[in-house]
């Protein structure tokens, strides 16, 4: 469906006039996204200043630092996996969060999409309610729930299921939980709209052609819903990889993720080029994931 | 792909659904019963204020090798009946048998039946070839057999050139053919067709009618076809069941249904009909004398018992009215004349009654033509009056 373009002025050709409608948002993106990334890219090739900031000397030291440790005395480089582990942990946490969000969201989205319109809207409204509260407050609230003297542990101890409080907070588990909780709606909503567009007669056709429930789900439902699954996964994965709040608060700063590492470099460590280099790595990871998905989608189209 | 034949759920399974059409099976055996429903009822939302009886006590027997059509206006229950046969709806009470086997409680995947859906429901992420192969793969057929069957089906529906295209790049007629091939590939015992022609334009629809019919003859599979288009039903079917308001009105050959309607609904729904109220004014032998108010008496055979003074309906097809002038019997007035190309239609007033007469190429080659305002005589061709009690 294409709406007929509105004629803004009789003298300006419609195409030019309508391109003008884009300029405000293009301006914002240029000023606040492209420019900062350019600055970060530049900084990542400079030398850190003594009290933060940068000195304008070209250096690849920031990138070397990710993989190698420079010896104080003889300036030699030795391999160290410390930062790689943090990057790997971030990727793992984000992948786990994305997969769990998928598993939780598919039935939820299916349920909502198959309700009558009125009920549907109530559910969608409920799904978005947490977004009325600031993420920081919600994350801290989650910490209170998980703490050693929080309601979960106290209840379990009172009932006598456990003697010692379970280590629910300040670890990878808490971070995962925080990520899932924060980004779940980003998965539910695209899946919901994919289910809503899904033609359920395709399922009848599959059963009619002797497919079992399980086979129909994997061979018909999932492939047809692919765009929704990819959109939801990206919306969860990308902010999860770089997430700052959940690991900081729920991980207690002990289990670092790349977002926290970057944050530290710009604050306490005062190593802006290193922080900038890590940011570039994060950006590259994101872009690789995006390009990989885009290429797979293109290949799907070709077949 | 033999996943589908390992049925993980404990639901009852028909032995026969795995290998439809074995050597000496009843499918090609004429006179055996392909599908049979007895005392079939379907109530939606039973027990709630929104309860709706879609089918009320339907009995129907469909023979093997038949092109059978369920005909009726939208909402009459014909699609519900088809969906019950396909297993997409559960019947509320009664039984449903396919080639003698009670399938009332079987899910669609356990029935030896395939369906051509109204909007085709082709799998959008699969090529034509993969679509057609799907059912065969689900049955766990060996790869070589799947491939050869798919080629045969592509050939059957003239879609070989499109085998590697996707459904969304094809026209309605092409999709229709793919849907047919996909449903025929597993060689079902029954092929259900849910208004498959309704999405096509007129020319294509007429062409597909012929193709469907010859496809049915070639494959020997029993076709059950749902439509609201009476012309389609008459043109293609061996037998037609007319359904209205959840009731089976009449079952018969197209000729039966058209020439011998048994109710006002059928007379009116199939083709066009003049329906006139009349009173019985005496019966002699099998023939009744019938008094039409404002017109006079006519005679027509009656099959059932009627009594003097009983109110009945007369059905007369427009093409069987004979108009004339100059015999002193002129009692009808022409109110309108419509030129239809191959015929001329006259709208008449006879007393209180409005009638329609149709004359092939009226006014040409010696036939009399009439203009609005003319006063004419009206006669009925012998045997053209059907007496209807309901």
CA distance B241 to B62: 10
State how far the Cα of B330 lies from the Cα of B306, in Å rounded to an integer.
30
Residue A184 has pLDDT above 70, yes or no: yes
What domains can be seen in chain B, in order of their start residue? 15-112+188-259 (3.40.50.300), 272-388 (2.40.50.140)
Specify the range with the lowest mean pLDDT, choosing from A30-34, A249-253, B29-33: B29-33
In this model, does residue B268 exceed pLDDT 60? yes
- Determine contact, residues A201/B119, Cβ cutoff 8 Å: yes
Q: Which of A208, A211, A300 sits opposite B114 (nearest CB)?
A: A208
Model pLDDT, residue A12: 66
Contact residues on chain B for A204, CB-CB shorter than 8 A: 88, 108, 115, 117, 121
* Long-range contact set of residues B283-291: C-beta below 8 Å, sequence gap at least 24: B283/B308, B288/B387, B290/B314, B290/B385, B290/B387
CB atoms within 10 A of CB B239: 18
Q: Where along chain A do its domains lie?
A: 76-257
What backbone torsions phi and psi does residue B356 show, to the nearest 5 degrees? -120, 130
Statement: residue A289 has pLDDT above 50 = yes
- Least confident range from A171-185, A264-278, B157-171, B347-361: namely B347-361
Confidence of residue B17 (pLDDT cuts 50, 70, 90): very low
The size of the A-B interface in CB pairs under 8 A is 74
Quote the mean pLDDT of chain B. Answer: 86
| Chain B residue at shortest CA distance from A301 | B125
Cα end-to-end distance, chain A, whole Å: 26
Taking the CA of residue A208 and the nearest CA in chain B, the distance in Å comes to 5
Integer Cα distance of A221 and A214 in angstroms: 10
Among A208, A202, A237, smallest CA distance to A223 is for A202
Q: What is the DSSP letter of A217?
A: I
Confidence of residue B298 (pLDDT cuts 50, 70, 90): confident
Nearest Cβ partner of B125 from A208, A214, A223?
A: A223
Q: What share of chain A is helix, strand, coil (3-state, %, to 5)?
A: 70, 5, 25
Calpha distance A280→A44 (Å, rounded):
8
**Percent of residues, chain B, with pLDDT higher than 90:** 51
CB within 8 Å: B123 and A214: no
ipTM of the prediction: 0.79
Determine the pLDDT at residue B7.
Answer: 39
Integer angstrom CA distances of residue A54 from A63, A83, A97, A272, B71: 15, 22, 36, 7, 82
Residue A170: helix, strand or coil by DSSP?
A: coil
pLDDT tens for each residue of B228-239: 999 899 999 999
- Asked if A99 has any chain B CB less than 8 Å from its own CB, the reply is no
Q: What average pLDDT does the segment A191-207 reach?
A: 93
- Fold annotation for A76-257: MetI-like fold (1.10.3720)
- The alpha carbon of B117 is separated from its chain's Cα centroid by a whole number of angstroms, namely 16
B13 pLDDT band, cuts 50/70/90, is very low
Round to whole Å and give the CA distance between B111 and B104: 10
pLDDT confidence bin for B361, thresholds 50/70/90: low
A214 — contact with chain B (CB < 8 Å)? yes
User: Which residue does chain B place closest to A201, by CA atoms?
Assistant: B121
CB distance A212–B8 less than 8 Å? Answer: yes
* Spatial distance between the Cα atoms of B57 and A168, rounded to a whole number of angstroms: 62
Closest chain B residue to A205 measured between Cα atoms?
Answer: B121
| A window 218-257, beta carbon within 8 A of B | 220, 223-224, 226
Cross-chain residue pair A204–B109, CB shorter than 8 Å: no
Contact B39, B95 (CB under 8 A): yes
pLDDT of residue A255: 78
Q: Which residues of A touch B84 (CB under 8 A)?
A: none
Q: What is the reported pLDDT for B23? A: 40
Of A19-23, B48-52, B166-170, the range with the highest mean pLDDT is B166-170
Measured over the CA atoms of residue A264, residue A265, residue A267 and residue A269, the dihedral's sign is positive
Q: How confident is the model at residue A3 (pLDDT cuts 50, 70, 90)?
A: low
**pLDDT value at position B14?**
42
- Residues of chain B with Cβ-Cβ distance to A223 below 8 Å are 125
Percent of chain B with pLDDT over 70: 90
Tell me what the pLDDT averaged over chain A comes to. 88
pLDDT category at B4 given cuts 50, 70, 90 is very low
Cβ distance of B115 and A204 shorter than 8 Å: yes
Which residues in chain A (68-97) have CB-CB distances under 8 A to chain B?
none
Q: Which whole number is the average pLDDT over B200-227?
A: 90
Chain B positions in Cβ-Cβ contact with residue A213 (cut-off 8 Å): 9
Q: For the whole model, what pTM was predicted?
A: 0.77
Structure token pair of residue A245: 């709040």
pLDDT at B367: 64
For residues A104-117, average pLDDT: 92
Interval B341-348 mean pLDDT = 88
Q: What value does the mean pLDDT take over residues B204-210?
A: 88
How many C-beta neighbours within 10 Å does residue B280 have?
Answer: 18
Closest chain B CA to residue A200 = B121
- Average pLDDT score over residue span B337-364: 82
Distance from CA of B265 to the nearest CA of A (A): 32
Q: What was the pLDDT predicted at B24?
A: 42
């Amino acid at each position: 469906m294409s709406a007929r373009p509105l004629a803004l002025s009789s003298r300006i050709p419609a195409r030019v006039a309508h391109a003008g409608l884009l300029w405000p948002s293009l301006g914002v993106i240029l000023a606040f996204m492209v420019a900062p990334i350019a600055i970060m890219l530049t900084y990542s090739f400079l030398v850190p200043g003594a009290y933060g900031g940068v000195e304008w000397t070209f250096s690849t030291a920031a990138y070397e630092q990710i993989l190698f440790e420079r010896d104080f005395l003889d300036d030699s480089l030795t391999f160290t996996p410390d930062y790689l582990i943090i990057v790997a942990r971030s990727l793992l946490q984000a992948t786990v969060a994305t997969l769990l969000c998928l598993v939780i969201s598919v039935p939820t989205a299916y349920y909502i999409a198959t309700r009558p319109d009125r009920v549907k809207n109530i559910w969608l409204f409920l799904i978005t309610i947490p977004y009325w509260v600031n993420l920081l407050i919600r994350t801290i609230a989650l910490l209170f729930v998980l703490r050693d003297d929080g309601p979960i542990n106290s209840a379990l101890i009172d009932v006598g299921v456990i003697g010692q409080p379970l280590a629910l907070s300040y670890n990878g588990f808490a971070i995962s939980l925080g990520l899932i909780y924060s980004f779940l709606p980003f998965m539910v909503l695209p899946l919901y709209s994919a289910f809503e567009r899904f033609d359920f007669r395709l399922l009848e056709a599959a059963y009619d052609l002797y497919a079992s429930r399980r086979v129909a789900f994997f061979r018909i439902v999932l492939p047809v819903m692919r765009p929704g699954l990819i959109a939801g996964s990206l919306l969860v994965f990308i902010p999860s990889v770089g997430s700052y709040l959940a690991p900081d608060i729920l991980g207690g700063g002990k289990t670092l993720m790349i977002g926290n590492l970057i944050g530290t470099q710009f604050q306490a460590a005062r190593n802006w080029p290193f922080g900038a280099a890590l940011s570039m790595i994060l950006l590259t990871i994101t872009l690789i994931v995006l390009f990989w998905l885009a290429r797979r989608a293109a290949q799907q189209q070709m077949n | 792909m033999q996943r589908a034949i390992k049925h993980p759920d404990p639901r009852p399974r028909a032995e026969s659904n795995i290998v439809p059409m074995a050597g000496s099976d009843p499918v090609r055996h004429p006179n055996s019963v392909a599908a049979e429903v007895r005392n079939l009822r379907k109530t939606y939302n039973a027990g709630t204020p929104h309860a709706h009886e879609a089918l009320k006590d339907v009995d129907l027997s469909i023979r093997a090798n038949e092109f059978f059509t369920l005909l009726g206006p939208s909402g009459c229950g014909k699609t519900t009946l088809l969906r019950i046969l396909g297993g997409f709806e559960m019947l509320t009470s009664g039984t449903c048998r396919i080639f003698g086997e009670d399938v009332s409680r079987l899910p669609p995947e356990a029935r030896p039946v395939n369906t051509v859906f109204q909007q085709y429901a082709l799998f959008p992420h699969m090529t034509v070839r993969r679509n057609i192969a799907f059912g065969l793969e689900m049955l766990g057929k060996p790869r070589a057999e799947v491939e050869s069957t798919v080629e045969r089906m592509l050939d059957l529906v003239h879609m070989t050139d499109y085998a590697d295209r996707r459904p969304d790049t094809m026209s309605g007629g092409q999709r229709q053919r793919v849907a047919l091939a996909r449903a025929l590939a597993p060689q079902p015992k029954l092929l259900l067709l849910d208004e498959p022609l309704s999405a096509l334009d007129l020319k294509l629809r007429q062409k597909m009618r012929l193709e469907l019919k010859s496809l049915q003859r070639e494959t020997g599979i029993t076709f059950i076809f749902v439509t609201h288009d009476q012309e389609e039903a008459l043109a293609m079917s061996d037998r037609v069941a007319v359904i209205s308001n959840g009731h089976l009105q009449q079952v018969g050959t197209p000729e039966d249904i058209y020439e011998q309607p048994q109710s006002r609904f059928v007379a009116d729904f199939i083709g066009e009909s003049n329906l006139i109220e009349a009173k019985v004014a005496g019966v002699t032998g099998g023939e009744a004398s019938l008094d039409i108010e404002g017109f006079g008496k006519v005679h027509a055979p009656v099959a059932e018992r009627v009594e003097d003074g009983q109110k009945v309906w007369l059905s007369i097809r427009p093409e069987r009215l004979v108009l004339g002038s100059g015999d002193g019997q002129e009692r009808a007035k022409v109110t309108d004349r419509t030129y239809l190309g191959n015929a001329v239609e006259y709208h008449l007033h006879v007393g209180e009654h409005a009638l329609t007469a149709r004359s092939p190429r009226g006014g040409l080659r010696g036939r009399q033509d009439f203009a609005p305002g003319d006063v004419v005589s009206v006669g009925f061709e012998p045997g053209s009056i059907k007496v209807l009690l309901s």
